[in-house]
Structure 1
Amino acid sequence: MGFSLNSITQKIIFLSLIATTLVQSQETIKSARILDLVIRDYTFESYKTNFKTGKLHSINLPANLSGIKVDTVRFRCGSLHRYGARIKEFQLSVGLKILPCDKRVMIVRQNLGSNWSSLYYDNYELSGYQLVSPVLGLLAYNLGETNNASVSTNSTSSSSSSSSIRSDEKRPIIIDFSTTKSVGATSSSPSKIPLCARFGDGDGKVTLSNQVGPGLCATTGDGHFGLVVEYSPVMPPLRGEDRKEVSRWRIVVGGAMGAAVGAVLIGLLMVAVFVKTKKKKERREELVRRAYEEEALQVSMVGHVRALTASCTRTLPTIEHFEYRPPPS
């Protein structure tokens, strides 16, 4: 019939890959890595030989991936290195490198929107922070030297098809979040300046950095990015049992604090009474001492002994003078 065994084998592998992708997409996707693989497979499934180099193409995703927007564009490796490119929110600088890149590379841009951005919040350590922008992804795949769709699709089954994007720190890749919609802004922290978050490659770690401009982030490689703000989680309302438990604790703590305050007041009162009594006693002793000191006593010698003698206070007798008249005879 004119069909070679190699061609039939490639078609069987291609159909098997599509079937596997469809099964994966129908299951509940709970891993950010699995989501990337599903998007990659749908992107290469839509890949056609008439994709023009340098032209942006939108990828149609199934209904169970609603909210995700994917765009892809094919470049020659040398041209991308010399001229850079603008892909939606990503500004690829001049001089960036794609490793590996044989001849052509496919750049995939992802916007996970409000439905799927929370997947990164669940898979990465972001406690104390909240996403306020959709997660944007920038990934690269090496196309080699062929444009055959089946070969390209089959090549995605191996990890060697994935490429990494690297740029210089002086000429980084700029990510513009100013045109994206907020997905998690809270009224508790409206005045805080968002930080740029780069989600690690499956290691569960997040790298935070300051913005380089209003809504602008800088990176030296591919990956997934978003804006986060620091926030304090609001405590959930207490249930009936919790309220009763809190009321008991309030009564116990309030009683203990009241007893402590009462003991302190009684102690202060006793100290005040003691101080007042002591002052009265000292004042009485002072009055007695002054009374003894103010009384003037004379000192006289009695033999060879000096003794205190009081001055005479008796009234001295006086002889009254009157004319004597003899009694009548």
Structure 2
Amino acid sequence: MVFSSLLSSTLGGSEDSYDREALDALFHYYANQTLAKHHTGTLYKVPLPSNFSGMEVSIVRLRSGSLWGRGANLSLFNVPRRVKTSPYVKRLAIVYYNLGKYWSTRYYQIPDYSLVSPVIGFNVYASSNLTALSDRNVTLILTNGSISIHFPYIEAEDKINVTELKCVNFEPDGSVEFKDMTERNVCVTEKAGHFCVVTPSLGVKKERVWKWWVIGFVSAIGGLIVLVSAGVIGVILLRRMKIKAMEKESDTAEALDTIWVRGDKMPAASMVRTQPVLEHDYVP
């Protein structure tokens, strides 16, 4: 009955009916079936029904003391040392999963972005009972760094601008948190959840290019207007300076008389010549 209800709620009739919470419950159910058969401290693969071919689920049970002293390496997740649990539990179980490319795009979509990696993630549960997995989630409290997420592959990595890649954390309330990648194929987180790498879709890239073209064109026109205005103002100021200089020179210069020559008025020097003066008062 549990199996039938989980399948019916997880696989709906349309893409919009894929239920993420039901999928987590399905992973919990099959991980719980596997837990009783294995030992603490070892990562085991969880078998899933053929309906979910392409997904990979694993589980590991740890002691809180071991997680605090040595951390945990869950293949694609690296949990550092000095990690506490809230609430405190003596043992905990970490269910790790990789949805693969096919299932990732059906359960997780982001408007204006394309998934270029599979969605991977993990959940932490209390596991005090050695033969059963509790429904109670446990929160990891990090005191010595962050959890590293190593994505197995990024689609068309050689054709994608690395600066456009973003790490995404899908929150339980449906919101999405974006982060920059710390290094190639690696993201970091401080909590459990579902993660993937995205890049802006082709339409968004074209829109951004178009916006930059518009901004560049407007900036060029504005710069040209400013340059022409500065040139016109410079010419006007230069002319005014020349006129002022000419006016000043005309004020200090000697005025010329005017005469009429065949009906035209023309400037002429004064007819009075400078009177001769003796160089010495003594006359022989």
TM-score tier, shorter chain, comes to 0.5 to 0.7
- Residue type matched to 1:167 in 2? L
Identical columns (%): 30
Q: 1:128 aligns with which of 104, 108, 112?
A: 112
Q: 2:6 aligns with which of 18, 21, 42?
A: 21
CA distance in 2 between partners of 1:234 and 1:198 (Å): 21
Offset, 1:42: 1.5
Q: Superposition pairs for residues 66-145 of structure 1, below 5 Å?
A: 66-122=53-109, 126-144=110-128
Q: 2:27 aligns with which of 2, 26, 39?
A: 39
Q: How many residues align?
A: 206
Aligned partner of 2:44 in structure 1 is 57
Alignment pair present for 1:176 and 2:164: no
Aligned partner of 1:195 in structure 2 is 166
Structure 2: runs of 5 or more not aligned = 206-259, 265-284
Residues 211/91 of structure 1: CA separation in 2 closer, same or farther (3 Å cut): same
Tell me how large the CA RMSD over aligned residues is: 2.7
Aligned partner of 2:139 in structure 1 is 164
Cα shift readout 1:23-73 (whole Å, capped 9, x = no counterpart): 54565561222211111112112222x411111100111111111100110
Offset, 1:197: 1.0
SS in 2 for 1:233: helix
Q: Tell me, yes or no, if the aligned pair for 2:62 and 2:91 is still in contact at 8 Å.
A: yes
SS in 2 for 1:119: helix
CA distance in 2 between partners of 1:175 and 1:77 (Å): 21
Q: Given the two structures, how large is their TM-score scaled by the length of structure 2? A: 0.64
Cα shift readout 1:222-263 (whole Å, capped 9, x = no counterpart): 10111111233289xxxxxxxxxxxxxxxxxxxxxxxxxxxx
Aligned partner of 1:323 in structure 2 is none
CA distance in 2 between partners of 1:23 and 1:117 (Å): 18
CA distance in 2 between partners of 1:119 and 1:133 (Å): 13
Q: Tell me, yes or no, if the aligned pair for 1:24 and 1:38 is still in contact at 8 Å.
A: no
CA distance in 2 between partners of 1:94 and 1:65 (Å): 34
Q: Tell me, yes or no, if the aligned pair for 2:153 and 2:185 is still in contact at 8 Å.
A: no
CA distance in 2 between partners of 1:72 and 1:60 (Å): 11
Offset, 1:204: 1.8
- Residue type matched to 2:101 in 1? S
Larger Rg: 1
CA distance in 1 between partners of 2:34 and 2:4 (Å): 14
Q: Superposition pairs for residues 299-310 of structure 1, below 5 Å?
A: none
Residues 186/77 of structure 1: CA separation in 2 closer, same or farther (3 Å cut): closer
Cα shift readout 1:282-302 (whole Å, capped 9, x = no counterpart): xxxxxxxxxxx99659xxxxx
Residues 234/206 of structure 1: CA separation in 2 closer, same or farther (3 Å cut): closer
SS in 2 for 1:44: helix
Cα shift readout 1:149-176 (whole Å, capped 9, x = no counterpart): 4xx4xx43xxxx22222323x5100111
Q: Tell me, yes or no, if the aligned pair for 2:12 and 2:18 is still in contact at 8 Å.
A: no
Residues 19/191 of structure 1: CA separation in 2 closer, same or farther (3 Å cut): closer
Q: 1:233 aligns with which of 155, 180, 203?
A: 203
Aligned partner of 1:147 in structure 2 is 130
Cα shift readout 1:169-225 (whole Å, capped 9, x = no counterpart): x51001112xx2335x499x7224311111111x22111111111111111111011
CA distance in 2 between partners of 1:69 and 1:82 (Å): 28
Residues 19/132 of structure 1: CA separation in 2 closer, same or farther (3 Å cut): closer
Q: 1:207 aligns with which of 139, 164, 177?
A: 177
CA distance in 2 between partners of 1:112 and 1:137 (Å): 9
